[in-house]
Amino acid sequence: MKTVALPSGEKVPAFGLGTWNIGDTRAQRAEEIATLRCGLDAGAALIDTAEMYGDGRSEELVGEAIAGRRDEVFLVTKVYPHNASRKGVPAACERSLKRLKTDRIDLYLLHWRGSVPFAETIEAFVALQKAGKIRHFGVSNLDLSDMKEWYKMPGGAALASNQLLYNLTRRGIEWDLQPWLRERRVPLMAYSPIEQARLPGDAKLAGFAQRHGMTPAQAALAWLLSKDGVIVIPKTGRRERLKENLGALERRLDAAQLADLDRLFPPPMGPQPLEML
């Protein structure tokens, strides 16, 4: 399994498991739990969730899936912006810990920017870190100006990741935000790597995949996995689809293939507003 180094030097899997919309349907619960456990068996030991997903139902499902295997998992969850205050963060963290049935979160993220000052959120994150409730903290959906502001705050440079919308059709961050993160060795966690299952239906990507003996989803994921400092977190609640996604780890794209994808899905020609879902 390819790994990515956090600023602390700790290495985490470059391929993780997203859980947005997982846990919402009771009829699918057994298959979703089995899918997460199969991911762990395959070495995809990073699981990403959030208190927002299903109003906590995704965290509860993850807690059930990792029961008895907690030490195998690098667990990521997120706090709502409206809970990101000095008092709100520890309370939200305790609720997440209870739902996840664990005593610690490996990476705790601010889900997106809200009205609470960054300094207050960072202060609360640092306090949780000192208390052993979280091991690392980071952000999600923060653009370059936000990142510069965050980084200047006391404790802000301890940032472990920025989780961002990034795939072949959403490349705007490559102009300025991604290079800024790379300079500081802050990993980028790419969510919606296959554009909520829409990319596999793209005729250009389908043609590329057919020419190179892979599925469109594998091509999209392999493109992200070819990049240094990028963690990819595709979401699926089906073991069959997980197996397909994991196949991307065996698809090493060469320079000619990467150039072909750049032609089909051009990189940005200038700064663009941050995209998010």
List the one residue out of 71, 58, 68 whose CA is nearest residue 17: 58
Residue in the block written with tokens 């997440």: 96
List the one residue out of 104, 93, 41, 39 whose CA is nearest residue 70: 104
Give the whole-angstrom CA distance, residue 75 versus residue 49: 8
φ, ψ at 72 (rounded to 5°) = -85, -15
Burial of 96 (0-12, 13-18, 19+ CB in 10 A): buried
Give the whole-angstrom CA distance, residue 216 versus residue 221: 9
Number of CB atoms found within 10 A of residue 116's CB: 18
Known catalytic residue: 53?
yes
Eight-class DSSP state of 195: T
List the one residue out of 13, 1, 273 whose CA is nearest residue 144: 273
Number of CB atoms found within 10 A of residue 61's CB: 25
Are the CB atoms for 188 and 174 separated by under 8 Å?
Answer: no
Which residues are marked as active site? 53
